[in-house]
Every structure is written in C-alpha cells, then in structure tokens.
Structure 1
C-alpha cells in the first residue's frame, strides 16, 4: 500500500513522538510510507524520521493555520495517488478534510487518529458543529484509548461502527536496554531518591501538584521535570513560592529520555486529562514503578501495572513513601515492565495496517 501520514507539525508532543516509531515500523512491514507536515517550525523529530528513511514533505506555506494548505494537501495526494491518507492533530484534520472535497478518487481512503480526551474547542457549540462535519468526513476515526474514543463520540457522534481503538506503541527494547547515567550529570546526588516527570508544561499536565508533593516528603526526595512548554515559567515561579528550588530540577527538552528514566527511582505522570500517556508506558518499559493520576486515559494504560493515584499532592506523597518498602517497590516495578509489553510499536503498526486493508475493501 501507498500510505501518506499528515500531521500538523513535528514539535515535541505525544502524537509527534508516536510517528517517529510508527512510520518506520509500518515501512518494515513492506509498505510505502511518507509524511507531510504543515509546518517545520521547532520540528524536533524531523531529523529522527529522515534518518529512519521516511520521506517528509513540508507544505510550501509552512504554516499550520493557512487555509491554502487545503490545495497543497490535495495536490500532494493526487500527485502520488496514495491508497491511504492517515491524518493526525487538529489543523491537519481540518485542512485534509477540506482537501478531500476536491478529491474525486473513489478508491482512496481517509482516516484520522484522535490523540486527546479534551481540548478547548469542546466548550464551543459552533466549533462542535464544525468538528462533526470534519470528523464525519473520514472513513474511520481511530482513538488511542477507550477514554479518548468515548470523549470524542460524545462530542461529534456519527456512526459507531466508524470508530476504532488502537493503543499507541513504543520500541520496548530501547527502554529495556538503556543504562542509567551518573546522577551528578542531572544535578542529583547519590543519596537522593529521584522522582521524574517527563511531559510538556501544558494545561493538561499537573507539574505543580507533583512538585507540591515534596512538601510532604523527606528532603532526600528530589523532583526532576523533563520537557518544556508555555507553562514552564509558571511552574518555576510556583516552585520558588513554595521554597522548593533546591529540590526541583528542570532539565528542559531532552532527547535522551530512555537513559533519564533508567536513572530515576520513580516515574510520575500527573495530569488533569490525558489521551493515552506515552511517557507512562516508557516509564513502565524502563522497569521502574510508575504512579499516575486517576484520569481515564492514564488509568486505562497503567492499570494492572503501576499505581493510580488521586490528583492530590498529599496522596501522591503517601504512595511514594509506601514504595520505601523494597518488596513493594520491586513488585510494582515488575508489574510495570510486564504491562508495558502490551504496548509494543510492532503491535500498533500491525493493527493499523490491518485496519487500512479493511477500509480499502469497503
């Protein structure tokens, strides 16, 4: 099959990171896989994909907001005559849906993957009507978790048989085979117990709550945040207000996530809402205990492996202290490693290829 993935950009994010592993895995299955992005601004994953042999096209308008992307997308699809067009993230979803209005091919199939359980558009009735038009223009609507599917179906409706769930996947071997780095390289000391949260600083995340948990923990506990984002300065100010600067380390945007996770003692994913929780899976695959907030996307992924916690700093601190019991710590770590095996990138790639074949037969 000739398959074109279209995504808004390759900035730091869960959907973007997924494509760096999903597309090469699909290519290994013997299919022609290419990618189109609307903008290459801050495209941190672009080089990674190119090095893995994925051909990337950037819209000549290099803007995710330009309506002219409609014609650029249509032109690209017709030039190569793809069998499948697979779309990710809102701007790509909108412009590709509109581009389809100009596609007269009866054989080509369009599908989209929804990567989040919530967004600001869902507070606006007019945007709700637009979203219904957009999503119902795809043959298949894939969600990365049942929580994501239920949320989206409530929002846009449509034919239930058009909906499917395919969990995200990761290259498990990368995390299993990584080794820890010296703690002083990340600003921690040998005796510290390292708590780590890998995540964007975004309204969906609760770095403040994770940092606040330190107030209820001994000073040997240190919190390391990995990632950047629009709310990073806000969280840094919060840490200063709480006099926690000596116990919170901001590493910024990093690409050596596997070795960082191996260096941590406990992985935390505190979120207000989450479509899937890729960082939680990566933490589990690293063989470390993972604690997540009790929101549906994360709970679905981690349940039966890690620990699900109320989104409350005091409760988080209690759970962390419980893990000082080495027997419990090792048990949770083993459970996490076993649960992570469900989320291999090979499984995800095969499920998508199977779905592509099914919708081509319709």
Structure 2
C-alpha cells in the first residue's frame, strides 16, 4: 500500500510549540505508512531542518503572504501541492490556514486540516489583521475538512465550526530519564552553583512571552536567585539592556536555543511562564513531567495543568509572583505519576492524529 503523503505548512522549522509538536509526531509516527513533507514560508535555515531531512522529509519553500501579493501566494501553494501529489495538507499557520486550505482545495487535495496553535487574539494587532482574520475564518469554514486545536481556547478563537482538541504530547520517557552527564555539563557551562535558586523560562524572547516581567521580579529578589532564559528572539538585545539597567545582568543567563530541554529542566527550581497569551504552552507540561513546580500567568489555558499539584496560576502582578516564588517548595515527584496511557504522552497524540489522517474524506 502506498504511503499517505502529508504536507505540513509552517513559517519555519524553528523551536516553537507547533514545530516541536510536529517533530515529536514525526519521530514517533509509522513512517512506512505516512510520508511527511514541509511547505515553509521562510527560506532561512530552521533549527529542525536537518533532522526533518534525516527522517525522510522534503522541504519546499515559497514566499510568505507578507512578501508577495495574495494571488502569487495562492498560485505558488497550488503548484507545489499539485507537483508533489499531496493527500493531506496540515496547516499550522493559525488564521493564515484559510488561504492555505483554499489553495489546497484548488489543488485537488482531499483532506485539508487547519490546526490552531494559539489564541488568535494575540494576532489582532491592527485593523488590517482583524480583517484578514475574519476573511480566513470564512475560508476555513468553507474549505477545511478538519479543524484541530491545541486547547479549547485556541479552537474557539479561530473556528466557527466543530473542532477536535489534539493535546500537544511529549516524549515522557525522555523527560523522566534525562542524561545526568549533560546536566553536569550544562551546570558548568552556565556557571550554576548548588547554592543558586534557578528560575527558568523557555520560549522565544518576545513581547508576548513577557520575559521583561521576569527580569523585574529578579531585581526584587536576593542574589541567590538566578534567571535562565532559554530561547532567542527579537527582544534579546532589549532584554539584555533592561537587565543592565536593573543591575541584574550577572544573574540573568541567556542560554540561547537548546535541544537538551529535558536536561535544562533539571536545572530549574521553579519554572516561570508569564506569557500574555498562549494557545497551550507545552513547555509547562514538560516542566511538570520533569518535576519542576510552575508559576504561570492566567493567559495560559487551564489544559496545561496535569493535576498533580505543580501549577499555580497567577495574575501578572509582581507582588503576587514574588510571594509565590518565595513560598514555593520543591514538590516531591515520583515516576509513578505517569505511565504509557498518560494523556500527554506523544504516543497518544500520534494515535489520535493517525485516526484523523487515515480517514480521507471525499
């Protein structure tokens, strides 16, 4: 039997939540049954490019909607999909999925999936964006055969029709059994002492992720506290300057983009997640599985709480966060809290998605 050919549509194969989910699925799906290719709207090298190729994917590039006119954008997508004889288009471009599934319909693709990875409110930055989102919602309703969301909130913010929540599963075993040698190397590299209390955050350095808030909090804590920021982004320089202004630059560790997230999590005493809005926030799930208590903003969907007593939701108020940080204690964690049937296991996510992929609507 021939493989089912799936084209995943993403801006770039970097380390965001959507990209990490797709790569987790790619590593665990039966690759003798499914063939994954990627349609990318940025030809800069992405973090996962080489791994995707090593797993058998072809990477196709075209201009983003912001760098060409809408007609060329649609024609380019149609041509690539026709040339590659694609069975399923799976858009991870949030509201932009409307134009993608319209193009897929024009290309004769039978199954056209739009996946909401975010609360779409975070994209409504101008009147033009609000108009584009409204148009794309109409196109999704008309041309998508399936709608998927990482949380109830993310789905309700985009879809006008029924949708299915697909939990962003993780490789639980990888987080339960980190590499101690790598942990020791990271401690040495990042100059982390046993007496330090490490506050951690993983995500793009951006306005929405709100690391500036964490630097303000650090400035109110004594010198035994350090803040590790894992990731990169447009606000890196501004955050470094802000750290200098508040005289905490020696206690803020900019660790960059990392692939050793299970080991990085073991460095943290507390995981801090002050995002203004998130579709889900998979890193908070990774932190819990790693045994790290979390303080998260109320902009994070409730679905990230694994109900093992490790998550505290707080308003974005510095005094509240300071109090929580100073009061929280490391929670006793045992591996028995998780098993093969855990909802957040990537195996469950793959099984659910295979059921969606395997039924081709006519």
C-alpha change, 1:69 and 1:123, in structure 2 (3 Å) is closer
Q: 1:65 aligns with which of 49, 67, 71?
A: 67
Q: 2:326 aligns with which of 299, 314, 321?
A: 321
Distance 1:17 1:198 in 2: 13
**TM-score for both structures, normalised by structure 2:** 0.85
Distance 1:334 1:323 in 2: 18
Q: Is the 8 A contact 1:24 1:54 kept in 2?
A: no
C-alpha change, 1:62 and 1:115, in structure 2 (3 Å) is closer
Query: How far is 1:164 from its partner?
Result: 1.4
Q: 1:84 aligns with which of 84, 88, 113?
A: 88
Q: For 1:152-171, list aligned pairs within 5 A.
A: 152-153=158-159, 157=160, 159=161, 161=162, 163-171=163-171
Query: How far is 1:213 from its partner?
Result: 2.0
Distance 2:146 2:126 in 1: 24
Larger CA deviation: 23-32 vs 242-251:
23-32
Q: Is the 8 A contact 1:8 1:37 kept in 2?
A: yes
Q: For 1:338-353, list aligned pairs within 5 A.
A: 338=338, 341-353=342-354
Query: How far is 1:24 from its partner?
Result: 2.8
Q: Is the 8 A contact 1:59 1:69 kept in 2?
A: no
Q: For 1:1-362, list aligned pairs within 5 A.
A: 1-28=4-31, 30-51=33-54, 53-59=55-61, 65-66=67-68, 67=70, 68-90=72-94, 93-104=97-108, 108-117=110-119, 118-121=121-124, 123-124=126-127, 125-136=130-141, 137-153=143-159, 157=160, 159=161, 161=162, 163-178=163-178, 179=180, 180-182=183-185, 183-297=187-301, 299-302=302-305, 304-305=307-308, 306-310=310-314, 311-324=316-329, 329-331=330-332, 333-334=333-334, 338=338, 341-358=342-359, 360-361=360-361
Indicate the RMSD between aligned Cα atoms, in angstroms: 2.7
C-alpha change, 1:61 and 1:248, in structure 2 (3 Å) is closer
Q: Is the 8 A contact 2:93 2:116 kept in 1?
A: yes
Distance 1:350 1:288 in 2: 28
Query: How far is 1:64 from its partner?
Result: 7.0
C-alpha change, 1:308 and 1:65, in structure 2 (3 Å) is farther
C-alpha change, 1:127 and 1:80, in structure 2 (3 Å) is closer
Count of matched residue positions in the alignment of Structure 1 and Structure 2: 346
Q: Is the 8 A contact 2:40 2:61 kept in 1?
A: yes
Distance 1:203 1:61 in 2: 25
Query: How far is 1:62 from its partner?
Result: 8.2
Distance 1:43 1:135 in 2: 27
| Structure in which a larger fraction of residues adopt helix | 1
SS of aligned partner of 2:144: coil
Larger CA deviation: 333-342 vs 124-133:
333-342
Q: Is the 8 A contact 2:201 2:273 kept in 1?
A: yes
C-alpha change, 1:241 and 1:291, in structure 2 (3 Å) is same
Query: How far is 1:82 from its partner?
Result: 2.8
Which structure 1 residue ranges, 5 or more long, are not aligned?
A: none
Query: How far is 1:28 from its partner?
Result: 4.5
Which structure 2 residue ranges, 5 or more long, are not aligned?
A: none
Distance 1:261 1:3 in 2: 32
SS of aligned partner of 1:347: helix
Deviation readout 1:251-284 (Å, 9 max, x if unpaired): 1222222211112222221211111112112212
Distance 1:64 1:175 in 2: 38
